[in-house]
Amino acid sequence: MKKVVFICTGNTCRSSMAEALFRKMLQDLGKDEEYEVSSYGIAAMEGQHASENAKKVMALEGIDLSSHRAKLFTQNVLEADIILTMTKNHKDYIIHRFPSSKGKVFLMGEFVGDNMEISDPFGQDVKVYKKVAEEMKHKLEKVLARLEKN
């Protein structure tokens, strides 16, 4: 089983949506038994709910994000096979703090070949969250394709 982790700042928007979208993608393809998927924030407040707009946008995808609770990134997360961050700053923070993680921590955009960061929709309207979710879905398809090759 491959362990895939998504990282953002607070684990209430981007990484929680990436986790949920990736799980749904795996379920739809019948591959959910092959992967363990989770998400964390490098500055998360443990137990915080997903943002309201993240819940609304995920509901449009047929995903219930109401049970999501934010989790703080810790050294235990390094047990994952691959750690995908939303920004270069997230990646740099992890590698600086845990140098042994180099080689398994990637900016999601870097992992799929476009080097683009996923902008933070926190505090913005639903349209922005929808745009971020669409951008992530395209990247996640490429993430899965790359993981399946290896």
Q: Annotated catalytic residue: which of 32, 69, 81, 120?
A: 120
Beta strands in 64-108 (DSSP E): 82-85, 105-107
Please answer whether residues 121 and 13 qualify as being in contact, where contact means their C-beta atoms are separated by less than 8 angstroms: yes
Q: Annotated catalytic residue: which of 14, 28, 64, 92?
A: 14
Active site residue 8: yes
Q: Annotated catalytic residue: which of 8, 13, 28, 125?
A: 8
Write out the two tokens for 80: 């994952």
Please answer whether residues 10 and 70 qualify as being in contact, where contact means their C-beta atoms are separated by less than 8 angstroms: yes
- The CA distance from 118 to 122, in Å, is 12
Please answer whether residues 60 and 45 qualify as being in contact, where contact means their C-beta atoms are separated by less than 8 angstroms: no
In 3D, which of 111, 150, 107, 116 has the Cα closest to residue 135?
Answer: 116
What are residue 121's phi and psi, to 5 degrees? -85, 0
Active site residue 13: no
- Catalytic (active-site) positions: 8, 14, 120
